[in-house]
Amino acid sequence: MFTGLIIEQGTVKEIRRSQQMIQLTFQASNSVLRDYKIGDSMAVNGVCLTAIETSSTFFRAEIMPETFKRTTISTLKVGDRVNLERAVSMMQRFEGHFVAGHIDTVTRLIKKIENQNALVLTFAYPTKYAGEIIPQGSIAINGVSLTVTDTTIASFSVSLIPHSKSLTNLGNLGVGHLVNIETDIIGKYVKAQRNKFEMYKEKDLL
């Protein structure tokens, strides 16, 4: 489990491909990796990965073909900057929102504008996620916990403060860039219960 609060940006150090197996090596600071062990989780651009090798300056993760296909992991290149977050510790304060590290969809940035000290980003999204993305609701974009500021039938917007722009890779996105999206886990359950209620109602089971 994660919170969507990025601790730092890491760098893609190496990509190994062998048939359907992909291994990625990420460089990070010693402060992030000091007690990071094999088997521990790390959210990389919002994707929950498990370490198979660690050191004081890098960690390596093995990517399943399904994860490779469903996320922007497939677009990464050596030298790319990625958002990193360690899994939540029971001893830390919980901020941000509940983030599972399980990506729902990949979408593109369609508009980017400056509004005084804020950077407003607008993304397209498939209509199947309507009801999971609402104004003032939570969303994770490349693993970053953000509040939805506006929605339309096919897009939503978020606003970045200067701190979020500098600490994450969202500030450097260009129009057309792909991002990982995880909708609010609570919204998913509410939507599922509503759909179940409507299904039972149609069958006169209520």
Summarize pLDDT for 150-168 with one digit per residue, the tens: 999 899 999 999 989 999 9
Report whether 99 contacts 180 (CB < 8 A): no
What integer pLDDT is reported at residue 205 of this predicted model? 55
Task: Read off the DSSP letter of residue 140.
Answer: E
Residue-wise burial string across 11-24, b where 16 or more C-beta atoms lie within 10 A, e elsewhere: ebbeeeeeeeebeb
What integer pLDDT is reported at residue 201 of this predicted model? 61
What integer pLDDT is reported at residue 189 of this predicted model? 75
Higher pLDDT, 85 or 202: 85
Examine the pLDDT at 199 and tell me if it is beyond 70.
no
Question: For 175-200, what is the mean pLDDT?
Answer: 81
Examine the pLDDT at 10 and tell me if it is beyond 80.
yes
What integer pLDDT is reported at residue 131 of this predicted model? 84
CA dist., res. 173 & res. 38, Å (int): 31
Give per-residue pLDDT as tens, 62-84: 998 889 889 999 999 999 999 99
β partners of residue 105 = 181
What integer pLDDT is reported at residue 197 of this predicted model? 61
Higher pLDDT, 84 or 117: 84
Examine the pLDDT at 120 and tell me if it is beyond 70.
yes
Question: For 101-123, what is the mean pLDDT?
Answer: 95
Higher pLDDT, 140 or 129: 140
In the predicted model, what is the mean pLDDT of the chain?
90
Examine the pLDDT at 190 and tell me if it is beyond 70.
yes
Length of the chain: 206
